[in-house]
Amino acid sequence: MENARLVVGLGNPGSDYARTRHNAGFLLAETLADRWQAVWRMDEGLRVRLARSDREGLRCWLAEPMTYMNCSGTAVAAMMRYYRVSPEGLMVLVDDADLPLGELRMRPHGGAGGHHGLESVTEHLGTSDYARLRLGIGRQPEAGREIAAHVLGRFSRDEATLFAKVLERAADAVTCWLESGIVTAMNRFNGAVVAPATKES
């Protein structure tokens, strides 16, 4: 369907993972749903949480796969077949530990960069030619490549304050992609979100 768009936030379902860094994609999808007043519902057949919002003449679905991060591609591929969305109409929202906290990076295609959710999507679609928006969550330098505890942990208070701003700017970026295309969205929104100023004691 030429006017169909699918915006998929990647994450892990369940209370143990709620609001963790690895669920940044879920958090952005939920920010968009709140902004667009889109109502979530479960689709057990597709194994996704879905919300629909028609915007600028486009039929747009927000989605959160309930398959766990490493198997996200099964749900994404099923949704694209069912709703007849082309790869050009897909935007995947993910966390990225290789980007500093607060950094946004939208791209029209590319590699997975070690992100297992993107690896699964690419495998099941048979292509990496789909847009993705990476939300930087940073890493702890002393941990080296052992980042599981960091990505599955929750934001500190200061990090959460900054990330709330990140989510608002990222929601603007996705909206711009829908309305004006990916080149405009990249030019306007890629880069760092500045941390809020703190009051001196």
Catalytic residues: 22
What amino acid occupies position 138? G
Q: How many C-beta neighbours within 10 Å does residue 57 have?
A: 7
Distance of alpha carbon 116 from alpha carbon 107, whole angstroms: 17
What separation in angstroms does the CA of 130 have from each of 67, 77, 79, 88?
Answer: 20, 12, 14, 6
**CB neighbourhood size of 123 (10 A):** 14
Distance of CA 116 to the CA centre of its chain: 13
The token duo for 151 is 């990505």
Strands 90-96 and 4-9: parallel
Task: Specify the amino acid at residue 73.
Answer: G
- Taking residue 12's Cβ as centre, other Cβ atoms within 10 Å add up to 21
Please give the distance of CA 145 from its chain centroid, rounded to a whole number: 22
